[in-house]
Amino acid sequence: MKLSAHRRALALAGTAVAALLAGAVPAATAEQATVAAPDIPVANVKQHLADLQSIASANGGNRAHGRTGYKASIDFVKAKLDAAGFTTTVQQFTYNGSTGYNLIADWPGGDPNQVVMAGSHLDSVTSGPGINDNGSGSAAILETALAVSRSGYQPTKHLRFGWWGAEELGLVGSKYYVNNLPATERAKFSGYLNFDMIGSPNPGYFVYDDDPVIEQTFKNYFAGIGVPTEIETEGDGRSDHASFKNVGIPVGGLFTGASRVKTSAQVQKWGGTATAFDRCYHSSCDTTSNINDTALDRNSDAVAHAIWTLSGTTTQPPGTVFENTADVSIPDNGSAVTSAVTVTGRTGNAPSNLPVAVNIVHTYIGDLQVQLVAPDGTAYTLKAYGTGGSADNINTTYTVNASSEVANGTWLLRVQDNAAVDTGYINSFKLTFP
Ligand code: TRP
Ligand code: ZN
Ligand code: CA
């Protein structure tokens, strides 16, 4: 080992603090482009419905306001969102002498002054499990929220999801939420999208006639898959969007029909029979058997399309750089230290040829183990301890096959000095995304 440069570590201490305060530097500017919404797996939506059915079955056959099945439904949805990285809030209110609950889930990031919200009522009537009304909307927005997380979507606008209590008793939960929003908060909404009954067993494809941009966004989706739509007329104001519309927030939504009977013209258009869109509406037979899978699938994909399209999107040009230039001193023969970069705005996984630029100042690089640590904790060894001999410094770009790693998140350069005497510091760490 070389006996040199012990003084350097001391000299560096001051600069390291200053550089840490400066933090990581995202070096690229974003450019606007449209990212397509992912396909929402209908099997996942159906699994959420099966879980809500189980909750009802275990709680007297319903998920109604003031009953144990309602709170169990809230807990079920909240746990999935918490695990996916949402910031969740349970809002309590009292109605008819019982405690009611709204669940609000915010996706971190986006412009806080431009909020796009999707909501669905999570309560059922007391007479049944409420799988179409409204497990269907609740499950579709839940799976869309999980898809936002899976894809690491970083939209321009801020995304929020809501599950309302006591809709069946008069839009009680959504009114409570809106009434408790200060005017300054209401003004931040770009739009509210409502999904109440979107898997009716004899479905129609209805789009709410409200905000023209939201309405057109839904119509474009259905036009793209060749499915004709009609304007929803089975009761304007009969769901939670009315609470938002009443305070001037632009609203829209989807609906596949309740107790009204499908006309012969609608049978021509959509198939099915000239009977009620949902013959189990507000009945005990609104179970997992009361769902048309095709309608649930198309509407779930339409939910995602609208959320992606209306929230805007930021994609990055090739060569986007995430770099941390803060110096991190490496303790001699000590524990590992890290330098972090936070990758945002990417979709999907990292590339199979991720360039990892490492600049380490050190007086004997054979001492060092150098690793790249992915956001999920997987470590990729860039340089093993005992290799590189007595050379000074590492200033090289390693290529890592990171294709099994989600790109967005915090990546670390982890360095450990495993032998006494020679020392140094991490000078910079840089990831370049293609
Ligand atoms: N949950 C609503 C209700 O019981 C269902 C409904 C009926 C609906 N008509 C609607 C939802 C029109 C949206 C639009 O009233
Ligand atoms: Zn409903
Ligand atoms: Ca050493």
Of 235, 200, 232, 203, the residue nearest 219 (C-alpha): 232
pLDDT band (50, 70, 90) for residue 409: confident
Instruction: Looking at the CA of residue 241, tell me the nearest atom of ligand 1.
Output: 13
Of 55, 60, 83, the residue nearest 71 (C-alpha): 55
247 and 340 assigned to the same domain: no
196 within ligand 1 shell (Cβ under 6 A): yes
297 within ligand 1 shell (Cβ under 6 A): no
Rounded percentage of the chain residues whose pLDDT exceeds 90 = 84
- Residue 255 maps to a domain: yes
140 and 237 assigned to the same domain: yes
338 and 373 assigned to the same domain: yes
Q: Which residues surround ligand 2, an ion (CB under 5 A)?
A: 133-134, 196
Kindly report the number of other CB atoms within 10 A of residue 126's CB atom.
Answer: 18
238 within ligand 1 shell (Cβ under 6 A): yes
End-of-domain residue from the set 294, 311, 328: 311
66 and 197 assigned to the same domain: yes
Strand 189-195 versus strand 251-255 pairing type: parallel
The 10s digit of each residue's pLDDT in 354-392 is 999 999 999 999 999 999 999 999 999 999 999 999 999
239 within ligand 1 shell (Cβ under 6 A): yes
End-of-domain residue from the set 251, 285, 311: 311
End-of-domain residue from the set 281, 311, 341: 311
Q: How many domains does one find in the chain?
A: 2
Structure tokens at 32: 């606007």
Asked whether 417 and 333 are in contact (CB, 8 A), the reply is yes
- Residue 295 maps to a domain: yes
Rounded percentage of the chain residues whose pLDDT exceeds 70 = 91
The 10s digit of each residue's pLDDT in 288-339 is 999 999 999 999 999 999 999 999 864 556 778 999 999 999 999 999 999 9
Residues in CB range of 424: below 8 A, 6 or more apart: 5, 8, 9, 329, 330, 360, 361, 362, 363, 393, 417
Asked whether 208 and 252 are in contact (CB, 8 A), the reply is yes
Asked whether 263 and 241 are in contact (CB, 8 A), the reply is no
132 within ligand 1 shell (Cβ under 6 A): no
pTM score: 0.69
Q: pLDDT at position 317, please?
A: 65
User: Ligand 2 centre from 385 Cα, in Å?
Assistant: 62
- 167 catalytic? Reply is yes
Q: Which residues surround ligand 3, an ion (CB under 5 A)?
A: 332, 367, 417, 419, 422
Of 405, 333, 325, 421, the residue nearest 369 (C-alpha): 333
User: Ligand 2 centre from 81 Cα, in Å?
Assistant: 22
List the CATH number of the domain containing 77: 3.40.630.10
Specify which residues 213 forms β-bridges with: none
- Residue 21 maps to a domain: no
User: Ligand 3 centre from 14 Cα, in Å?
Assistant: 21
Catalytic residue among 143, 167, 168, 232: 167
The 10s digit of each residue's pLDDT in 31-82 is 334 678 999 999 999 999 999 999 999 999 999 999 999 999 999 999 999 9
One-letter amino acid at 256 equals T
Closest ligand to Cα 9: 3
Closest ligand to Cα 419: 3
Tell me which residue has its CA closest to atom 15 in ligand 1.
238
The 10s digit of each residue's pLDDT in 222-236 is 999 999 999 999 987
Helix (H) / strand (E) element for 44: namely helix 42-57
210 within ligand 1 shell (Cβ under 6 A): no
390 and 361 assigned to the same domain: yes
232 within ligand 1 shell (Cβ under 6 A): yes
Closest ligand to Cα 256: 1
347 and 289 assigned to the same domain: no
- Residue 10 maps to a domain: no
189 and 306 assigned to the same domain: yes
For residues 250 and 244, give the distance between their C-alpha atoms in angstroms, rounded to a whole number. 8
281 within ligand 1 shell (Cβ under 6 A): no
146 and 231 assigned to the same domain: yes
Specify which residues 370 forms β-bridges with: 383, 415
Kindly report the number of other CB atoms within 10 A of residue 112's CB atom.
Answer: 11
266 and 352 assigned to the same domain: no
- Residue 16 maps to a domain: no
- Residue 23 maps to a domain: no
pLDDT (mean) for 429-433: 94
Between vectors from CA 43 to CA 37 and to CA 47, what angle results, nearest 5°? 115
Write out the residue range of the structural domain in which residue 373 sits: 320-433
Burial of 275-285, coded b for 16+ CB within 10 Å and e otherwise, reads ebbbbbbbbee
337 and 283 assigned to the same domain: no
Closest ligand to Cα 131: 2
